[in-house]
Structure 1
Amino acid sequence: MRFLRKSLDSDSRDLITSAGMAFALRGAGAVLAFGFNVAIGRVFGAEGTGLFFTALAMVVILSAISRLGLDNAMLRLIAASAAIPDWARVNGVFRIGMRSATLASLVLAAALLGLAAPLSERLFDTPELTRPMQLMSLGIVTFSLMMLLSESLKGLSRIPQAMLVSGVLWPLFGILLVWPLAQAFGPDGASLTYVGATGAAALCGWLMWRHLRNDTPADTAVAPELWSSARPLWAMAIITTGLLPWAPILLLGIWGSASETGLLGVSTRVANLVAFFLVAVNNVLAPRFAALYQMDETARIRQLARRFALLTALAASPLLLVLIFAGDVVLALFGPEFTDGTTILAILAVGQAFNAATGSVGVLLMMTGNERAVRNGALLAAAIVLVASVVLIPTLGAIGAAIAAAGAVIAMNLFSVFMVRRKLGFLVIPWIR
């Protein structure tokens, strides 16, 4: 704490206040998401939950592809343009990004709808997966739009609105919809709930953007810069938001049972809570890093990055201990059959704790123009998760999938720490000088 007392200034206190608000919203979203996952587990059981998470894995991976790397590219360019301010560039980035991602997501949604049956029967050897996958295909569009609207709002430094869209509203709508849709449509209700919840959150995000935007005509000449930033981020986004968290679930769906997939899916969602404060802090720091880099304030970036790395490490510690030593109690909330996943949960929680302890390294690299470094780290992590999954899942099942996922997260964060030191000249980890 001495480190924090010595380095606090007015700007830092403002950021900590913003981070506190983001933490509160992220906490509310985490509670709601936890409640939504509990509802899915309670209503549909381990096998039904496994089918839901397998279909969801396909949707999230395809959504990452359809967003074309625009998430952080739009955030960075909107934040930099709004800081000047240049509303023509802001509107140009938003228009190009949203139209491109909408078209791409519609194409992939149609492809998944058409291929759901052969994938379910031949790849997963689970014909009953066909219907959930078909119904959830539209989620590629709704989830993609929801995420890009959230990133655009962050670029305008509207952190609470952004976090409401991507972190609070969709699980809230999900909780409200899951029971009536389950009653009306049975097992199909889980997929319909996800599509309806993410679609409603995306609509709210669109209304927020329309309220905040400036009517200056869009400057579409920003397109080359947008795509130059998005291209190296595309592979990174597919890997970090698609393959790393979801490939083990998808591969376990191929080589394991639906019940095992349900255990891994629930444990993954619970373990992600360990790093939820890091996600809240990233929402605050990402536009600030972009603006400071635009003003050549590297010393200030270093100070903020190290300080908040310490905060995220401290915040993650209590929940890590709970999930390691009382994971069975937490998993019992989903139903008695989920308590078999305590070892899986502990492994995944350690990986997320390491993620929190290294701070905002990935965001820092992306917001300072080092997208290729993030892409290379993501490629390394992808290779690790795929090779480890292929080797471990056939023999260890869900535990092997958890080891593969946690190992990839640790490797990617270590690589990012090294690249921050190499590119920006400092170590983010605060207890190492």
Structure 2
Amino acid sequence: MNIFKNNDLIFSSILGFFARALAVGLSFLMSVVIGRVLGVTESGYFFLAFNVLTFLAVFSRLGLDNTVLRFTGSAFAEKDWAVVRGVLVRAVLIVCITSSVISSALYFFREFLAGSVFFKPELAPMLGIMAPGIVSVSLLAIIGVAFQGLRRLIASVFFSNIVINFLLLAGLLFLGVSSAEQSAWVYTVSACISLFAGFWVLIGALGKEGRAPSWSDIFHSCLPLWLVTLMSQLIQFSGQFVAGGLLNAEAVAQLAAAQRTAMLISFILTVVNLVVAPRFAAMYKQGALQDMESLALASVRLMLFCSLPALAVMLVFPTALMELFGAGFEEGRYLLQILAIGQFVNVATGSVGYLLTMSGHERELGRSVLISAPVAMLAAFTLVPLWGAVGGAVATSLAIILQNLIAVFQVKKTLGINTLLFWRGSRFFERASMRAWSK
């Protein structure tokens, strides 16, 4: 099977890889600089406020990311600018309203949330300063998927991931920032600048205006996956949220730094998904399940090959990696090892989420997160009081592993593809197996 049928696809895939690599590198570097500049305590407050903002921004988007990507992607292929403009206008209007309401609620209830939920009154100023960022980050995500649907991968990654982190890094390094509150201001201003720049470029990329899709079509598309997206966020952040309410800022900072480092393992998964997701959709529509299985298993082998070295480094040299964040972070070495295992399983199970969504089995994907998210919360509330930050790391990894294994089961049940049997179809593994059996 010829995976790459033309040079344009190969070129765009390479550009997408380097753009995402730059985005991941900047995000990690931003976390390291914050840890070293602010120290373990102040960075703990910043990371906790940042995670709250990220979760609420996802909540504000109502699942419209997937809707905008779906409508713009299909409409762009036919140069139907009416649909592209229409879905963007409606999505932006909806997200503006919801994110503004949630941003206002966070601002007015910041002291209650900081003091009565997280038991950290010092967190309130950061929540208030970063509250407007919910609007900017939410809209930037819509801009990012719109560019992705328009096949402008560089612009998509640039405005949704790169520009904010770049501006924040510049502010941290050149403005003499020394506190979590100052960092929060820099982040909020960076998000606003990124938003205006993104809108300016996006408007120039659109064609003529015309008839738009209906509101019912948009809500029918976005709402089913909204809950899935929220549950996925809970799986990622439940350990940090519970730790934020029960542990000190230092432990929260160590857990956040460890999780950000561990997620470097899953970088290859995001890159591979960029290429294989639309191909899964096309193959399923054509009934080419055998080709679909071959592509899925080949991608697992590729991801294992790329992620094993990163896992080995995190398991063998966790202290050295955590020391990059500065003094006090080295105590999070065990957190990094635990979280790295969870992220490796996330990669090793393959693109199971896209296999389900691209084949129209969103409900099956929903079942995996609707089971895993409550488990994540229950495990976090049980293990964090017992084991501290280690309990938060264990809870997160367990939930990630459970979510992916359930998704593997759903893929096997609905499509007949078992992504755990990654050696199937590989001549190398088949020859090695035959040699082993002959002995």
- Of 393, 401, 413, the residue aligned with 2:384 is 393
Do 2:43 and 2:180's aligned partners in 1 also have CA atoms closer than 8 Å? no
Residue equivalent to 2:434: none
Take 2:243 and 2:423, find their aligned partners in 1: how far apart are those partners?
A: 38
Do 1:181 and 1:190's aligned partners in 2 also have CA atoms closer than 8 Å? no
Residue equivalent to 1:272: 263
Q: Structure 1's 292 and 177: CA in aligned 2 closer, same or farther, altered over 3 A? A: farther
Does residue 428 in structure 1 map to residue 419 in structure 2?
A: yes
3-state DSSP of counterpart to 2:263: helix
Offset of residue 296 of structure 1 = 5.5
- Of 102, 108, 112, the residue aligned with 2:102 is 108
Do 1:159 and 1:283's aligned partners in 2 also have CA atoms closer than 8 Å? no
Does residue 220 in structure 1 map to residue 235 in structure 2?
A: no
Take 1:83 and 1:422, find their aligned partners in 2: how far apart are those partners?
A: 32
Do 1:181 and 1:192's aligned partners in 2 also have CA atoms closer than 8 Å? no
Does residue 353 in structure 1 map to residue 344 in structure 2?
A: yes
Alignment of 1:141-160 (within 5 A): 141-160=135-154
Q: Structure 1's 17 and 355: CA in aligned 2 closer, same or farther, altered over 3 A? A: farther
Do 2:338 and 2:397's aligned partners in 1 also have CA atoms closer than 8 Å? yes
Gaps in structure 2 of 5+ consecutive residues: 426-439
Take 1:372 and 1:72, find their aligned partners in 2: how far apart are those partners?
A: 15
Which deviates the most, 107-116 or 328-337?
328-337
3-state DSSP of counterpart to 1:77: helix
Take 1:83 and 1:302, find their aligned partners in 2: how far apart are those partners?
A: 26
What whole-Å deviation, never above 9, does each CA across 1:390-426 have from its counterpart, x for those lacking one? 1100010111000111111111111222222223332
Which deviates the most, 367-376 or 48-57?
367-376
Q: Structure 1's 201 and 359: CA in aligned 2 closer, same or farther, altered over 3 A? A: farther
Take 2:418 and 2:196, find their aligned partners in 1: how far apart are those partners?
A: 40
Amino acid at match of 1:23: F
Q: Structure 1's 288 and 195: CA in aligned 2 closer, same or farther, altered over 3 A? A: farther
Q: Structure 1's 256 and 387: CA in aligned 2 closer, same or farther, altered over 3 A? A: same
What whole-Å deviation, never above 9, does each CA across 1:76-121 have from its counterpart, x for those lacking one? 2322232344332222222221211111001000000000011112
Take 1:219 and 1:334, find their aligned partners in 2: how far apart are those partners?
A: 48
Offset of residue 259 of structure 1 = 0.5
Amino acid at match of 1:64: V
Take 1:130 and 1:312, find their aligned partners in 2: how far apart are those partners?
A: 41
Q: Structure 1's 272 and 231: CA in aligned 2 closer, same or farther, altered over 3 A? A: same
Do 1:62 and 1:140's aligned partners in 2 also have CA atoms closer than 8 Å? yes
Take 1:190 and 1:10, find their aligned partners in 2: how far apart are those partners?
A: 43
- Of 40, 47, 51, the residue aligned with 1:57 is 51
Q: Please report the TM-score for the alignment, with normalisation by the length of structure 2.
A: 0.90
Q: Structure 1's 307 and 396: CA in aligned 2 closer, same or farther, altered over 3 A? A: same
Do 1:82 and 1:90's aligned partners in 2 also have CA atoms closer than 8 Å? yes
Which deviates the most, 93-102 or 112-121?
93-102
Residue equivalent to 2:85: 91
Q: Please report the TM-score for the alignment, with normalisation by the length of structure 1.
A: 0.91
Using the aligned pairs only, state the percent identity. Answer: 31
Q: Which has the larger radius of gyration?
A: 2
Does residue 133 in structure 1 map to residue 124 in structure 2?
A: no
What whole-Å deviation, never above 9, does each CA across 1:53-75 have from its counterpart, x for those lacking one? 11112111111111101112221
Offset of residue 379 of structure 1 = 1.1
Does residue 188 in structure 1 map to residue 188 in structure 2?
A: no
Take 2:102 and 2:331, find their aligned partners in 1: how far apart are those partners?
A: 35
Residue equivalent to 2:432: none
Take 1:177 and 1:218, find their aligned partners in 2: how far apart are those partners?
A: 43
Do 1:76 and 1:290's aligned partners in 2 also have CA atoms closer than 8 Å? no
Amino acid at match of 1:205: G
Q: Structure 1's 106 and 9: CA in aligned 2 closer, same or farther, altered over 3 A? A: closer
Does residue 338 in structure 1 map to residue 329 in structure 2?
A: yes
Residue equivalent to 1:3: none
Q: Structure 1's 182 and 249: CA in aligned 2 closer, same or farther, altered over 3 A? A: farther
Residue equivalent to 1:329: 320
Aligned-residue RMSD, C-alpha: 2.2
